[in-house]
Structure 1
């Protein structure tokens, strides 16, 4: 899986649950909420004031291990 700004958070977590700490680190503490899992990475980053590209890089590096 390659994460992009349009990838849904739910898709990322379904593909690799060990990515959850990256979302918790950015302040997204309600990962089980239906609205959070249906948000795109870009939408979530805008809401939480996080650089989408920085998070994409971290997630793709983690997933590729």
Structure 2
């Protein structure tokens, strides 16, 4: 699966379990969040006030 900014957080965590640590570094408790199953990476970044490009770079994902 190719991950993008529009991939769900649940998909991200399934494909790249190591992403949980990166999300936590950004202050995103998405690992246990109920929204993770229906929220995409872009929405999560916006909701937490995190620059999308910075988060995607840390996750190794292209927009």
Same fold (TM over 0.5): yes
Tell me the residue number matched to 1:47: 47
Q: How does 1:15-30 map to 2 (within 5 A)?
A: 15-30=15-30
Aligned length in residues? 61
For structure 1, list consecutive stretches of 5 or more residues without a partner in the other structure.
none
Greater share of helix: 1
Tell me the residue number matched to 2:10: 10
Residue 30 of structure 1, CA deviation: 4.4
RMSD: 1.7
For structure 2, list consecutive stretches of 5 or more residues without a partner in the other structure.
none
Tell me the residue number matched to 1:60: 60
- TM-score normalised by length of structure 2: 0.78
